[in-house]
Amino acid sequence: MVRQGRDFDEDDVRIRANPRGSRPRSRLRPGHLDAAEAMVLAVDRGRYTCLIDLDTVHETDSEGANPDGSPRGHRERTRRSRRDPGRVSQAGTREVVAMKARELGRKGVVVGDRVSLVGELRGGPDALARVVRVHPREHVLRRTADDTDPVERIIVANADQLVIVTALADPEPRPRMIDRCLVAAYDAGLSPLLCLTKADLADPAPLLAAYSALGVPAIVTQHGGSLRPLHEALAGRVSVLVGHSGVGKSTLVNALVPDADRAIGHVNDVTGRGRHTSTSAVALRLPEYSPTRTEPAPRDDAGSDGPSRRARSASAGEHGPWTQPILFDDEELEELREHRPHAPYGGWVVDTPGVRSFGLAHVSPDRVMQAFPDLAAVIAQCPRGCTHAADAPDCALDEWLSGLPQGSTEHTGATARVDSVRRLLIALTDRSDGAY
Ligand SMILES: Nc1nc2c(ncn2[C@@H]2O[C@H](COP(=O)(O)OP(=O)(O)OP(=O)(O)O)[C@@H](O)[C@H]2O)c(=O)[nH]1
Ligand SMILES: [Zn+2]
């Protein structure tokens, strides 16, 4: 998996004229030295729900800082401890609502951004913090323009995995949509994970075979099954979930994050939007630890048209139609954190309820090919402007294939891989609206 370098927004290099000539630039603003570090969980009309790492909050903030959050004195600042944010416990964080500080100008703030906050950090109604800095983004997942939104936008920053949720039946899988999502993942430098749902309705084998050539890892889920494998794949990562309507994405989110409804409702409460109407991305923290570690017997309501998932998950202790996910013990957690230090505060899923398309207009074939270094070396020999499609004249991929021993497993494997990559390249040149 090839990772792209850090992303530069055009506004990263934007130098904004100071609109108020008399105001000193941030270098001279002492409050910012003691800004707290936070992660953006939700964005709604200029209001940002942020999770503060309390270890980065200056001690006087909770006991009475200056109204703008600036420190009372220089001495206290040295007492602040900075721990590895990946090790912050749930108790070590607090949700606050923030607005952008004026000096950020038009700089965008998106879900997943790591930001520095000043101001009212104690939370509570009417308390507003200010985002004074957006840290450089490691990865960005973009969507291109649709009819109502002519601008290319960043959906999520700093995610490291794109979970492509596809039902095996009802609705039928759409390989073209999967391909589009893979391309978007490779372009953004995210690892793809295929999550095939509703395995109780259809055999996953054909789809698994089609994507194994690309080395795309896959998890299969079904009503009544365990969610542990999915939990393991998500733990310690920031995973964006995408999938078209009806594939069971909400069912999964509600099972993975038992209080997801409450969390989303809470976000909407503080941002002033009604419950369950959020259409932009929302980051939800995965629970990591189950003190009981028991897995109750499967519930017998698979496929029923019972109460809605919302109603189901509202009753205490229920996980929808799933067996309760077994989470991790201390040792496993320790190991996960060591190997997946990327996600702060454990793991996150970013639900994208309003995102229904991935335009790929901004993606170049070369960028996609970087995810397949062996084939990239082959196509470096192609004639200029080669599309690498199956009917492209003199494409080096064909020559490479014909050079492998016919009928060998090597040849069969390579053929499947070339076919898959060609499908991705076709997805790339498909200039539809990108809806999935
Ligand atoms: N048979 C079966 N049905 C499932 C499974 N997972 C979810 N469903 C059902 O599929 C339907 C759609 O699930 P949702 O979770 O609402 O799907 P969604 O992807 O969130 O769709 P939207 O809410 O429209 O975005 C519901 O009736 C679920 O009960 C599964 O593993 N097997
Ligand atoms: Zn070629």
Instruction: Determine the Cα–Cα distance for residues 359 and 152; give it in Å rounded to an integer.
Output: 9
CB 395 within 8 A of CB 388: yes
Q: How far is the CA of 312 from the centre of ligand 2 (A)?
A: 52
| pLDDT the model gives residue 360 | 74
| Residue scoring higher pLDDT (25 or 141) | 141
Question: In which band, very low, low, confident or very high, does the pLDDT at 274 lie, cut at 50, 70 and 90?
Answer: very low
Question: Residue of the nearest CA to atom 20 in ligand 1?
Answer: 250
Compute φ and ψ for 320, nearest 5 degrees: 60, -145
3-class secondary structure for the chain?
CCCCCCECCHHHCCCCCCCCCCCCCHHHCHHHHHCEEEEEEEEECCEEEEEEEHHHCCCCHHHHCCCCCCCCCHHHHCCCCCCCHHHCCHHHEEEEEEEECHHHCCCCCCCCCEEEEEECCCCCCCCCEEEEEECCECCEEEECCECCECCCEEEEECCCEEEEEEECCCCCCCHHHHHHHHHHHHHHCCEEEEEEECCCCCCCHHHHHHHHCCCCCEEECCCCCCCHHHHHHHCCCEEEEECCCCCCHHHHHHHHCCCHHHHHHHHHHHHCCCCCCCCCCEEEECCCECCCCCCCCCCCCCCCCCCCHHHHHHCCCCECECCCCCCECHHHHHHHHHHCCCCCCCCEEEECCCCCECCCCCCCHHHHHCCCHHHHHHHCCCCCCCCCCCCCCCCHHHHHHHHCCCCCHHHHHHHHHHHHHHHHHHHHHCCCCCEC
Sequence-distant (≥ 6) Cβ neighbours of residue 100 within 8 angstroms: 46, 48, 107, 109, 130, 131
Helix axes 249-256, 260-271, angle to 10 degrees: 100
Q: How far is the CA of 372 from the centre of ligand 2 (A)?
A: 14
Q: How far is the CA of 241 from the centre of ligand 1 (A)?
A: 14
Sequence-distant (≥ 6) Cβ neighbours of residue 209 within 8 angstroms: none
| Residue scoring higher pLDDT (6 or 353) | 353
Instruction: Determine the Cα–Cα distance for residues 431 and 436; give it in Å rounded to an integer.
Output: 13
Find the mean pLDDT for residues 236-256.
90
CB 105 within 8 A of CB 16: yes
Q: Is the minimum distance from the CB of 273 to ligand 1 under 6 angstroms?
A: no
| pLDDT the model gives residue 209 | 84
Question: Residue of the nearest CA to atom 14 in ligand 1?
Answer: 248
To test the ligand 1 pocket, which listed residue (166, 251, 355) has its Cβ within 8 A of the most ligand atoms?
Answer: 251
| pLDDT the model gives residue 130 | 94
Residue 422, pLDDT above cutoff 80? yes
Q: Per the annotation, does 385 bind a ligand?
A: no
172: how many CB neighbours lie within 10 A of its CB? 10
Residue 266, pLDDT above cutoff 70? no
**Nearest ligand, CA of residue 387?**
2
Residue 271, pLDDT above cutoff 90? no
| Residue scoring higher pLDDT (186 or 8) | 186
Residue 4, pLDDT above cutoff 50? no
Residue 235, pLDDT above cutoff 50? yes
Find the mean pLDDT for residues 363-367.
76
Q: Which atom of ligand 1 is nearest to the CA of 199?
A: 31
**Nearest ligand, CA of residue 392?**
2
Q: How many residues does the chain have?
A: 436
**Nearest ligand, CA of residue 204?**
1
β-sheet bridge partners, residue 211: none
Q: Per the annotation, does 200 bind a ligand?
A: yes
Q: Is the minimum distance from the CB of 246 to ligand 1 under 6 angstroms?
A: yes
Q: Is the minimum distance from the CB of 198 to ligand 1 under 6 angstroms?
A: yes
Q: How far is the CA of 395 from the centre of ligand 2 (A)?
A: 4
Instruction: Determine the Cα–Cα distance for residues 193 and 143; give it in Å rounded to an integer.
Output: 19
| Residue scoring higher pLDDT (385 or 299) | 385
Distances (CA, A) of 309 to 44, 163, 279, 304, 305: 24, 21, 18, 11, 10
Residue 238, pLDDT above cutoff 80? yes
| pLDDT the model gives residue 24 | 44
Q: Is the minimum distance from the CB of 247 to ligand 1 under 6 angstroms?
A: yes
Q: How far is the CA of 426 from the centre of ligand 2 (A)?
A: 13
Q: Which atom of ligand 1 is nearest to the CA of 254?
A: 15
Residue 30, pLDDT above cutoff 70? no
Find the mean pLDDT for residues 288-311.
44
| pLDDT the model gives residue 324 | 60
β-sheet bridge partners, residue 129: 98, 119
Q: Which atom of ligand 1 is nearest to the CA of 225?
A: 31
Q: How far is the CA of 296 from the centre of ligand 1 (A)?
A: 21
For 276, counting Cβ atoms within 10 Å of its Cβ (0-12 exposed, 13-18 middle, 19+ buried), the class is exposed
- AA letter at 286: L
| Residue scoring higher pLDDT (147 or 363) | 363
Residue 309, pLDDT above cutoff 50? no
| Residue scoring higher pLDDT (385 or 2) | 385
Mean pLDDT rounded to a whole number for the chain: 74
State the residue for tokens 């936070």: 38
| pLDDT the model gives residue 158 | 93
Q: Per the annotation, does 243 bind a ligand?
A: yes
Question: Residue of the nearest CA to atom 25 in ligand 1?
Answer: 245
| pLDDT the model gives residue 306 | 40
Residue pLDDT, tens place only, 48-99: 999 998 888 875 544 444 444 444 433 333 233 343 333 334 457 888 999 9
| Of 33-37, 113-117, 124-128, 231-235, minimum mean pLDDT range | 124-128
End-to-end CA distance of the chain: 24
- Torsion angle, CA of 119/123/128/132, rounded to 10 degrees? 50
| pLDDT the model gives residue 143 | 75
Q: Per the annotation, does 388 bind a ligand?
A: yes
Q: Which atom of ligand 1 is nearest to the CA of 170?
A: 10
> What percent of the chain is predicted at pLDDT more than 90?
27
Instruction: Determine the Cα–Cα distance for residues 51 and 284; give it in Å rounded to an integer.
Output: 11
Compute φ and ψ for 267, nearest 5 degrees: -55, -45
β-sheet bridge partners, residue 220: 196
- The pTM of this model reads 0.76
Give the tokens for residue 281.
């991305």
Prior bond of 171 cis (ω within 30°): yes
| Of 249-258, 322-331, 333-342, 399-408, minimum mean pLDDT range | 322-331
Domains and CATH numbers, the chain: 10-18+27-134 (2.40.50.140), 140-351 (3.40.50.300), 365-429 (no CATH)
Q: Which atom of ligand 1 is nearest to the CA of 304?
A: 29
Q: Per the annotation, does 198 bind a ligand?
A: yes
Find the mean pLDDT for residues 320-339.
70
Instruction: Determine the Cα–Cα distance for residues 51 and 243; give it in Å rounded to an integer.
Output: 26
Compute φ and ψ for 164, nearest 5 degrees: -95, 105
Sequence-distant (≥ 6) Cβ neighbours of residue 66 within 8 angstroms: 31, 72
Find the mean pLDDT for residues 205-210.
88
Instruction: Determine the Cα–Cα distance for residues 46 and 39; give it in Å rounded to an integer.
Output: 16
